[in-house]
A and B are shown apart, each in its own frame.
Chain A
């Protein structure tokens, strides 16, 4: 052979095949080599047809492989169809997949399928035009369909045949086939379901309804339907031998749910009834069913229950185990003995079988291939075939026992472990392109270790995955096990690898970027021309592109997926999301001690304020608008507002989640204005701006776990308290209502290892926040605040129970001189409420004003919460979506940070007598109000009265959790064991006492006390 030439397919696509074809220049031409070469070239998938031509060239032959190049599908788009999602539906129904071969039959089929989809939606006269646009040099063609849907059909005539038992008009009503209704994709299903439901309500569970035809009347633009309906007999279900609520029967016997009767469903009913009675302790219950035709269109399904004795699982034990401890094996069992929560224990034959499988699996996976587990169950003390239980029990009561005593049940799993097999030698064969050392590190199976089928299966998958990640798409790994002749306890393991050809990326074609700049997504694409075709990289690229939040859909397709071409094109097809997003929402919290502000206004309305707030609901409305894909980059700007009784705010935020595409660095600028009313004592307004940088650690080779997040901030805000809202004694109002600038750097460290953040079972969550407000940064209040919190979660009893705990410590150290040393009210530490110290209402813990009794916050806080989250019981109506918790919260907010640790063991309010004495007895001797005595301390949180709040408040409580996909809905009830007392000499919401010079001076000063009882209704776990 003197020369070899390729025609049809570009030579550069076949270049990698040079040297791999059986025919070669200079070698003799044989028929066999020619055949193999033709087959190999066709198998690349690049040709539609191929032939070999030869021409004489000197003393040899010039060989040419020529053929028609194959065309593959690039993008598929549909436009013009009526309906919001119809274009997308049609695109899917075309079943034209990007990257696959384009054929005329395929496009014709696509049009037919699209037409069928349109007909299902009522469009019987569509016009579908297609345009195929080739991409030069790529063997790709983009297909676009333009659809004109045409008129939408309405429901026309309805004809019903068979023994329907209803008139056509009644049928129409049940089927909801109104004459004016447009036909849509659900019309037929809705009709069938509706009619069947109507029959089911009559107890006709064997009814059959079928659509015979749906004919379109082009002139009238209606669809005429013809149905066959046979109502069948009325089916009744009776349970003999035990009592059961008829409603429960409908839940248990599946014929009601399925709406049909067949032997499989009836037998399933046997099993479910048996399980039901076994859950009540009738472990030997047996159920049989019988079908009885009563004539005149009635059928009775009779379930006969033989309950047997009622028993309780007294003991479950394991015998014969040597390799595993009993405790380890017991954790695998589903059968368990009776306990406080379960009076009968849990036992059934199915559970025993499952336990046997679980035990045998764990042994087999540790090399005991001959293990045998035999369950032994103690025989009942009373005979199993006792007379059936009295069926005349009350309808709702559990079935009565057949004997006076329940017979205890003992279950023993006897284990014959057999010989433990170990891995002898481990060999890898056929790995020509990847070294054995590189593959061995992926394997869990090692010589000398127990022979584990699970490990072997996992190792097989690991090898396949590794090869796939390197472009070996056709890799085949076979496992061989051979007992060692010299040592029957050892098995030699070999993985035979058939690597197949390696495929590389020819090029990457990205489509669908209308607004987004290509540079924005470049770093997210981890597949590049020349790389091995790595399936992991494809998945990572897709995930990265989704991660931008800029795309609704990202499809990745490999062109010529079934061909053996050495290089393949990767198609990345993105569909951009809407750039403008409008969001809105509504929520509320219900609790005791809802903060109560604007007491002067309340006075005008004749409503008295109380330092403990009031019981009520705090609604909240949220609204926002966002612009994503700003300037074609991964950045957004949003404007959001909140309006509620506790807070009103509006803010703007500019966000760059990944700086320059770096997945670990983000940046946010935010600013806004907020009114906060979450503390009863005052209404605060806040004008603020903040720069925030976020650092994650998701990259490989990171120096710290990916569970960590660092946040670097610079905050600047102006806080102001409305003087008219302040509930402090008159002498403090001026200082506390002065507008104050607060600003400085902040650092936050978050560490989150929780398994499920919304409802954790294990892991920890830690946050540490440091904020420095200093004159250097333009601040008027100078202080340093540290706020740290740690939560941990521990599950036990197979994750059924969870113990969760949370500890929070906060401290503020003020510095500076004069007024700059006074910490503004909104910057202080508070506690109390549904996500804090549940012994107090919202932000109601800690120091209080010496005259009004309203909370004024502190400079230190220490709180600990411990919660036992119980497993959800199975309850009527709600199933197992409801669970319970019991909790203990303790802690307080303190005037000084140093007081927190000294107060841990103090359960009584110190100097309570001084507190009581602070209540004014004779108002005439108190004409000017509170005057600080020399003994009352002045701190960074202002003038303190004679009352001390330096004790730990303890609360016990219980709660309900209703579990939803977005986290639990929570109701907590708490009882504070030692609520603090405080004097109330001034109340701005009542008339000033005659003759008094103090506004709001109470006519009857009194000694207040925080309430013992609090409740909270909220979303999510407390921590």
Chain B
């Protein structure tokens, strides 16, 4: 698999960090299975397309991922998620989820209030949603219907997303120390050049807490990025659908023929 595609998560205080689209795509309730053909010839309803450490990813999971991508605040509406990209996101998310279950970290499940707050944020701030008057219940229902989603599926998606974010916070944020010299360096080398000559520059003491938060988040991003890269390298990922294989995919296990065969090598 290729390297995961990064996305940006909006934090309450406006700090943007790069995370992964896999975390933000969600499983939306889809209408029941593809309609069976009226003729007697069978149609494929669903199939396995990949396996991540024994967890099967189905073709319908990719459909869900693409449908839920509408809720991603960082996805431009004109750029529809490809199936390869959707699979990449699901693989990353599955690896993270397996790690969450394995580490069994306590108290990362978000409360209903937190989930509702996030839902409210999406209904009021997501541009594509705002245009369809998602703030009203009727508009929200119409929006969901138009995108093949259900309220339950969206809520589950938000809860899961918050859970992952909290896991990342607990897993990586603790133990990171930002020193005063680091803050000063960022102020001098990064912030000050942003201001044009003559513009009023805020004093260091005023922006120091904000700089500390930015540096902290950068560290979290870096650690998380490395961690996820390792997970992907160490995990057992098998592609069952060769059409979904990215160009740069590493060699993966493919089933062998059960027929007798002979081969020689020299």
Contacts and interface: CB of A to CB of B under 8 A. Distances in A.
Nearest to A107: B256
Interface in B37-81: 37-48, 51, 54-56, 58, 60-61
A69 B259 CA distance: 12
A interface, how many residues as a size bin? 35 or more
A53 B260 contact: no
Interface stretch (B155-163, B187-195, B247-255): B247-255
B262 A31 contact: no
Contacts of A933: none
Given A30-B32, A127-B266, A54 B42 contact: yes
A616 to B, nearest CB: 65
Contact of A104 (B33, B39, B40, B256): B256
Contacts of B55: 39
Given A35-B46, A54-B43, A133 B54 contact: no
B27 to A, nearest CB: 10
Contact of B47 (A49, A55, A63, A70): A49
B258 A31 contact: no
Interface string A36-51: 0011001100011111
Contact of B259 (A38, A64, A126, A134): A134
Contacts of A53: 42-45
A131 B260 contact: yes
Nearest to A30: B32
A103 B253 contact: yes
B33 A34 contact: yes
User: Which of A30, A133, A141 has its CB near the most chain B CB atoms (within 10 A)?
Assistant: A141
Contacts of A30: 32-33
Nearest to A134: B258
Contacts of A31: 30-33, 46, 60
Contact of B260 (A63, A111, A126, A134): A134
Contact of B36 (A38, A61, A125): A61
B265 interface: yes
B39 A70 contact: no
Given A49-B47, A69-B258, A105-B253, A55 B56 contact: no
Interface in A676-691: none
A128 B37 CA distance: 51
A173 to B, nearest CB: 36
| Central interface residue in B36, B251, B256, by most chain A CB within 10 Å | B256
A130 interface: yes
Interface string A45-89: 001111111111100011110011111000000000000000000
Contact of B46 (A52, A68, A128): A52
Contacts of B44: 51-53
Question: A31, A39, A51: which has the most chain B beta carbons within 10 Å?
Answer: A31
B48 A29 contact: no
A55 B36 contact: yes
A35 B60 contact: yes
A71 B37 contact: no
Contact of B45 (A49, A52, A128): A52
B256 to A, nearest CB: 4
B263 interface: yes
Contacts of A29: 32-33
Given A34-B46, A49-B47, A49-B48, A105 B30 contact: no
B256 A128 contact: no
A397 B83 CA distance: 81
A103 B33 contact: no
B36 A35 contact: no
Given A31-B33, A35-B58, A105-B254, A55 B262 contact: no
Interface string A237-262: 00000000000000000000000000
Contacts of B266: 125-128
A422 B211 CA distance: 54
B42 A42 contact: no
Interface string A178-194: 00000000000000000
A50 B42 CA distance: 15
Given A42-B51, A61-B36, 7 more contacts: A38-B58, A43-B56, A56-B38, A57-B40, A127-B264, A130-B263, A132-B256
Interface of B: 30-33, 36-48, 51, 54-56, 58, 60-61, 240, 251-266
8 contacts: A34-B33, A50-B47, A52-B44, A54-B45, A61-B36, A67-B48, A103-B254, A125-B266
